Structure 1
Amino acid sequence: MKKHYRSDTNCLNCGTMIQGKFCSNCGQENLELHEDFLHLALHSVGHYFHFESKLFNSMVPLFTKPGYLTKEYFAGKRASHLNPISMYIFISILFFFLFTAKTHINEKGIREENPAAAEAREEAEARKTIGEVRGAVLEKAQIGKMSDQDANYTYTILDNAEAALDSAGRRHKEAVIYTAPATEKPKAATQEKPAKEPKADGKGKKFNVDLGSDDNVVLHSLETKLQEVMDDDLQSELFKNKLVGHLPKVMFILLPLFALILKLVSLRSSKYYVEHLIYSIHVHSFLFLFASLLIILGWLLPFLSSWLWWLGIGVSLWYIYRSMRNIYRSTRWRTVYKFFLLFFAYSILLTLSGLIVIVATLYTV
């Protein structure tokens, strides 16, 4: 259907004088404001199919022609394809939606599904707090900052709090029963030995004998936290939930690092960093789109799921190699050499970022 264009030549959006049907400054079409419903509907459908055609023109070569979109982008042929960043965001949203479809539940849903685990966790935290207070009281009593009478009174309160937790398997949150202080100091307080003073060197300066104590403390803390999460069903589910939620952010951060590695392994290349970055975006877009297809096929053909993932690994490796040949125009063996350098460096980055995310997630559950 024919479009109705305005006779006035001023752009209604930016005020620039128009020569033709589109504004040369902002690109707005100079259409009549008062269109009937049919014209409005057809105009909207036309924009939709224009996006669809750009999507089709981008997805097909992304699958069938490794490196083609990157070459087209830097050849200046950009209007007929999706913007690389927009395409990556669209595909990554699709991939992570499918990836988490069966496993990702919001935190509120997890807590509602595990009320017993939530209650057990709260009780464990309460016992831990009681233990920490008991240790603090013991330490102050040993160095004389608290009298034996005050310490015994506090021990009695803590004992009653623990008894309230144990009583008939119920949690008494409304009050702690206070009784008279104990007449004797607990055995733990009398048997506890003061910490040994560090040894001194010849100049009278003290030093710590256990040189690896800081590392041991960190490793012990990590081991304790990991064991705590693994032993608690609720914390384990929350840990998996948060870990999956961090994956899109990690991959988005790794994109420019992938491009940086490409720049380093192609130092003799005249390409700018942004060219490596656009190539990196296209490669990750293909990997996410192909993985999305494999997820769907795995749902439809569950008996082939293991074979599909082996197929995915093989195709992905071939795609990266083939796209590097097309973009960097190196010889076959030089491309293989660069490919292995890229694979090795990127694997280290993935491992380090994965460990950082796991540790950060452990301490935020």
Structure 2
Amino acid sequence: MKKHYRSENNCLNCGTTVTDKFCPSCGQENLELHDNFLHLVLHSVSHYFHFESKFFNSIVPLFTKPGYLTKEYFAGKRASHLNPISMYIFISILFFFLFTANSNSNKKDIMEENAAQGSTITKDEAEKVKTVVGNTVSEKAGAYTYTILDNAQIIKDSASNRNDAVVYTNPTAAKADSAEKKGTTISFLDESALPLSLKDRMQKVMDDDLSGQLFINKLVSHLPKMMFILLPLFALILKLVHVRSRKQYAEHLIYSIHVHSFLFLFGSILIVLNWLLPFFGDWIQFLGVVVILWYIYRSMRNIYKSTRWRTVYKFFLLAFAYTFLMLMSGFIVVVATLYTI
């Protein structure tokens, strides 16, 4: 259906003179404001399919042609593809959403399995003791011993869940001890008010389920920020590895964004496949690692045009440096998260 354009040539958005259908300054289309419902719907649908065509024009080559989007970007063919940063943000949000859901699902399964195993072990041990006692004493005494074991286990479990212990002190002994330590300074400072060390905080997170879950949630929320900060550092490593290349830092950065976009999108697909085919989990992970290694190698060859063995050598340098940066960044994020929960 034909669009209704305004007869006036002033842009309603920025005021620039419009010589054609689109504003040369801001790009807004010079359409009539009071359009009928059918035109409004068709206009919205056309914008949607325009975005959809750009989406598929970007996602398909991102998977099938390593390095293609980077070359297209610096060849000036940018209107046909999604903006690299916008694409990265969209894909990273999708990945970390699935990653968080997968982590919570795995944690729930592990807790249920451990609880089942713990219950089974306690019963088995009690049955063994009951059998031994039953062979030497009467059946009534064996059953009584089994009851005592169960009660002792309940008391032990309830005691282990207490955070504070109650200490009863003999007043006479306390006075004697005070008399012996006469002249010493008595501190009324509550030790629990002192800042916990890193080891104590880690122990608290491991022992307390609530603190552990809060730690995981905050840690996962920090990961997208960490990866976004690592993007320019990854590009810097590329610049150093290809020090003789004439490429500018911006070219390394755009390539870095496209590589990370592929990693996050491919990682999202692996998570979904692992949900759908849990019995092939190990094979899916192995295949994922192989595809990722091949993709990075192939994209480096297409972008930097190095020989096969030179690309492999630079790939290992890049992997070593980036792994070191990720470990350092991960350690800093873990420590910062422990001190903020």
Answer yes or no: same fold by TM over 0.5.
yes
Q: Is the 8 A contact 2:16 2:23 kept in 1?
A: yes
Q: Which residue of 2 aligns with 1:326?
A: 302
Residue type of the alignment partner of 1:258: F
TM-superposition CA deviations, 1:75-99 (whole Å, max 9, x none): 1100000000000000000101111
Counterpart among 244, 249, 254 of residue 273 in structure 1 = 249
Q: Is the 8 A contact 1:92 1:285 kept in 2?
A: yes
For 2:176 and 2:209, locate their aligned partners in 1 and report how far apart those are by CA, in whole Å.
Answer: 35
Q: Is the 8 A contact 2:94 2:268 kept in 1?
A: yes
Report the number of matched residues.
277
For 1:193 and 1:255, locate their aligned partners in 2 and report how far apart those are by CA, in whole Å.
Answer: 62
Q: Which residue of 2 aligns with 1:93?
A: 93
What's the CA shift for 1:193?
11
Question: What is the 5 A alignment of 1:174-323?
Answer: 185=175, 187=177, 190=180, 221-323=197-299
What's the CA shift for 1:103?
3.7
Q: Find the residue that maps to 1:349 and give its secondary structure.
A: helix
Question: What is the 5 A alignment of 1:54-93?
Answer: 54-93=54-93
- The structure-2 alpha-carbon separation of the partners of 1:186 and 1:337, relative to structure 1 and needing over 3 Å to count, comes to farther
- The structure-2 alpha-carbon separation of the partners of 1:182 and 1:51, relative to structure 1 and needing over 3 Å to count, comes to farther
Query: Which stretch shows the higher mean deviation, 17-26 or 63-72?
Result: 17-26
For 1:4 and 1:291, locate their aligned partners in 2 and report how far apart those are by CA, in whole Å.
Answer: 45
Q: Which residue of 2 aligns with 1:355?
A: 331
- The structure-2 alpha-carbon separation of the partners of 1:62 and 1:189, relative to structure 1 and needing over 3 Å to count, comes to farther
Q: Is the 8 A contact 1:121 1:232 kept in 2?
A: no
Q: Which residue of 2 aligns with 1:341?
A: 317
For 2:235 and 2:101, locate their aligned partners in 1 and report how far apart those are by CA, in whole Å.
Answer: 30
- The structure-2 alpha-carbon separation of the partners of 1:192 and 1:328, relative to structure 1 and needing over 3 Å to count, comes to farther
For 2:179 and 2:290, locate their aligned partners in 1 and report how far apart those are by CA, in whole Å.
Answer: 64
Residue type of the alignment partner of 2:177: K
Q: Find the residue that maps to 2:262 and give its secondary structure.
A: helix
Query: Which stretch shows the higher mean deviation, 222-231 or 279-288?
Result: 222-231
Q: Is the 8 A contact 1:324 1:335 kept in 2?
A: yes
What's the CA shift for 1:8?
1.4
Q: Which residue of 1 aligns with 2:44?
A: 44
TM-superposition CA deviations, 1:220-252 (whole Å, max 9, x none): 933232222212222122212221121111111
Q: Which residue of 2 aligns with 1:11?
A: 11
What's the CA shift for 1:58?
0.1
Aligned-pair identity in percent equals 71
- The structure-2 alpha-carbon separation of the partners of 1:183 and 1:342, relative to structure 1 and needing over 3 Å to count, comes to closer
> What is the aligned-residue RMSD (CA, Å)?
2.9
Residue type of the alignment partner of 2:256: S
- The structure-2 alpha-carbon separation of the partners of 1:238 and 1:182, relative to structure 1 and needing over 3 Å to count, comes to farther
- The structure-2 alpha-carbon separation of the partners of 1:238 and 1:191, relative to structure 1 and needing over 3 Å to count, comes to farther
- The structure-2 alpha-carbon separation of the partners of 1:187 and 1:361, relative to structure 1 and needing over 3 Å to count, comes to farther
What's the CA shift for 1:310?
0.9
For 1:45 and 1:121, locate their aligned partners in 2 and report how far apart those are by CA, in whole Å.
Answer: 62
Q: Find the residue that maps to 1:13 and give its secondary structure.
A: coil
For 1:269 and 1:225, locate their aligned partners in 2 and report how far apart those are by CA, in whole Å.
Answer: 47
What's the CA shift for 1:64?
0.3
For 2:274 and 2:261, locate their aligned partners in 1 and report how far apart those are by CA, in whole Å.
Answer: 20
Q: Find the residue that maps to 2:22 and give its secondary structure.
A: coil
For 1:321 and 1:193, locate their aligned partners in 2 and report how far apart those are by CA, in whole Å.
Answer: 73
Residue type of the alignment partner of 2:50: H
Q: Find the residue that maps to 2:101 and give its secondary structure.
A: coil
Q: Is the 8 A contact 1:22 1:29 kept in 2?
A: yes
Residue type of the alignment partner of 1:278: I
For 1:45 and 1:232, locate their aligned partners in 2 and report how far apart those are by CA, in whole Å.
Answer: 52
Residue type of the alignment partner of 1:290: F
Q: Is the 8 A contact 1:84 1:281 kept in 2?
A: yes
For 1:283 and 1:304, locate their aligned partners in 2 and report how far apart those are by CA, in whole Å.
Answer: 26
Can you give the 5+ residue segments of structure 1 that lack an aligned partner in the other structure? 106-119, 129-161, 167-180, 196-217
Q: Find the residue that maps to 1:100 and give its secondary structure.
A: helix
Runs of 4+ in 1 over 6 A off after TM superposition: 120-123, 192-195
Residue type of the alignment partner of 2:52: E
TM-superposition CA deviations, 1:138-192 (whole Å, max 9, x none): xxxxxxxxxxxxxxxxxxxxxxxx57xx9xxxxxxxxxxxxxx999657379469
TM-superposition CA deviations, 1:94-142 (whole Å, max 9, x none): 101111124459xxxxxxxxxxxxxx99973xx59xxxxxxxxxxxxxx
